[in-house]
Amino acid sequence: MTAFIESFETAKGNVFGDLLTTKVESKTLKVGLVTLGFFEYWRMFPDSLKANVTADMTCIYNNLSKHLPQDNVIWPGIIDTLDAAEAAGKQLAAEQVDLIVYVAGTYCPDYMAIQALEHIRHVPVLLFNTQHDNKINLGTNYENILRNSALIANLQLAATFKKMGWYKELKVVVGSIEDVSAYDEITKYIRSYKAYINLKSTNIGVIGHVFRGMYDFEYDKTMIKGTLGPNIISIQVDHLLEQFDKATDEEIEAINEATKNRFRIVGLSEDDIYKSSRFYVALRNTLERFRLDALTLLGQHYVEQKTGTTSYLANTLMHEEAKYVVNTEGDVHGLIIMSLMNMLSGKVPAYAEWGEFDEELNALLMVHHGYANTEYATDRSTVQVNRSPEQWGLQGSGFGFEYTLKPGEVTISHLIIDAEGYKMLIVKGQALHIPENIPCEEITAVIQLETPIKQFLKELIKEGFAHHCIIGYGDLTEELSNIADFMKIRKYMY
């Protein structure tokens, strides 16, 4: 009898007609390095110019390789003739490079670069305007001036791009061949592009729907796919509840014991902890079964009533493991920012709501929804597990965390779609040191901003950004700005 393939909605096995059997892995980028010289100069200065320019370009190749250890830098060698340009272009096309770093080692006419780039017109170009040193040598000779004449070539080529309508979003970086800050800028750009590319194959599951009345979170799956990139997959709540029922005692007990050993638990019963552990198993197995990378769960009220608990232990453990990205209330756009920050930093960011302001500190109180990576706590030994302060049809006390986020540089972001399309909020801030956890049975943070706080809030409200915010440690503002440009959406930076 023929076994027919079914949809993931109904199939009992693990092969579905409408989901890939093997989840797409994170892409390793192939970065093409295009370096230019000029054959005419070699005969004019035969003793050392070509060797010196080759040494400069080799230095750039080595630095790029060092700064991009997870990716492949493909260098076809110096292009100094039209034949070499044609061969390099064909090689980079055959290698299916994802992005080009273009470097001129001397002045060279624009036709050679164009000959090579015509083979790979669909990928973005980063133009690195560089020279051997970062100082002018007042005792230089003409050969050395030619060695450092890339600016002429780059101005000519960029003007030609403008006339041709090529590379309208051309990225330009300026620095000497050993300039660490230049390579940091290049690395951020490439890391941004890698996250943008990987987002296109990200599968985001949605269980339930956006919380009623939160119109700022409403979304269109087609607009998300077409503009932002990820696949949105609706998962019936019954699939999660089925996994909750199927969770084995062995799986549950391992999480249950680890939870009791790790955390100071206040006011919860054994049953509260057991059900939360069971929810973790169910959520993990749901993510694995449907090949998801991220998932947003409404929670209120239906799932919490059916399971008798919250997803907060499950979400916390997921955040710490950083394999899957999860949040609640149907906040798909927030989940996309969380996924991007996870790709950029290797850590799942915190998920919070805007709170009250402090004029003296020029800061905001951020209040979380009861789950985050406990590594973010000011003092992990003070992390407290307690009841969920918001009780959504629970039988028991639920499960939540209380602690305050540690000090450090942070990036705050979110996405929203309005009548003019998508836009991204990007804010640089500083989490302040709060010596004692704020005793509100929730996760909190006090974030100081650079913009005057009342001015910022006026603009935030007037511009109409979502009432949630994503808080990632470190300065990710440049990377997120690049990603907004790749997506061709508006960005508001503070």
pLDDT digits (tens, 9 = 90+) for 243-255: 999 999 999 999 9
β-pairing, 443-449 with 363-368? antiparallel
What percentage of the chain has pLDDT greater than the value 90?
Answer: 86
Q: How far is CA 10 from CA 21, 23, 236, in A?
A: 15, 19, 11
Say if residue 490 is exposed, middle or buried (CB neighbours under 10 Å; 0-12, 13-18, 19+): middle
What's the pLDDT score for residue 311?
93
Instruction: Find all residues with CB under 8 Å of 91, minimum gap 6, and list them.
Output: 74, 76
For CA atoms 259, 261, 264, 269, give the dihedral sign: positive
User: For the segment 297-335, what is each residue's pLDDT rounded down to a tens digit?
Assistant: 987 778 888 898 999 999 999 999 999 999 999 999 999
| CA pair distance 257, 245, nearest whole angstrom | 20
Confirm if 205 and 221 have CB atoms less than 8 A apart.
no
Instruction: Report the DSSP beta bridge partners of residue 16.
Output: 6
Residues 73 and 65 sit within 8 Å (Cβ to Cβ): yes
Between CA 163 and CA 193 the distance in angstroms is 25
Query: Would you state the pLDDT for residue 10?
Result: 87
Residue 363 near residue 453 (C-beta atoms within 8 A):
yes
**127: nearest Cα among 162, 96, 95:** 162
* Residue 394: alpha-carbon gap to chain centroid: 34
- For residue 389, what are the CA distances in angstroms to 330, 365, 370? 20, 18, 9
- The residue extents of the domains of the chain are 30-198, 200-493
Distance CA 416, CA 425 (A): 8
What confidence tens digit (pLDDT) does each residue in 396-443 have? 788 999 999 999 999 999 999 999 999 999 999 999 999 999 999 999
483 against 390, higher pLDDT: 483
Fold adopted by 200-493:
L-fucose Isomerase; Chain A, domain 2 (3.40.275)
Q: What is the separation of C-alpha 243 from the centre of its chain, rounded to a whole number of angstroms?
A: 29
| Main-chain phi, psi angles of 101, to 5 degrees | -105, 120
- pLDDT tens for 326-382 read 999 999 999 999 999 999 999 999 999 999 999 999 999 999 877 999 999 999 999
Q: What is the pLDDT of residue 12?
A: 87
Top-level CATH class of 30-198?
alpha beta
Residue 160 predicted with pLDDT over 60:
yes
pLDDT of residue 428: 98
What average pLDDT does the chain have?
94
Q: In this predicted structure, what is the pLDDT of residue 121?
A: 96
Q: Indicate the pairing of strand 357-358 with strand 363-368.
A: antiparallel
Mean local confidence (pLDDT), 267-289: 96
Peptide bond connecting 301 to the previous residue in cis, omega within 30 degrees of 0: yes
Angle, vertex CA 284, rays to CA 278 and CA 289, nearest 5: 125
- Residue 390's pLDDT band, with cuts at 50, 70 and 90, is confident
Q: How far apart are CA 235 and CA 376, in angstroms?
A: 30
What pLDDT does residue 248 have?
96
* pLDDT at residue 13, rounded to an integer: 85
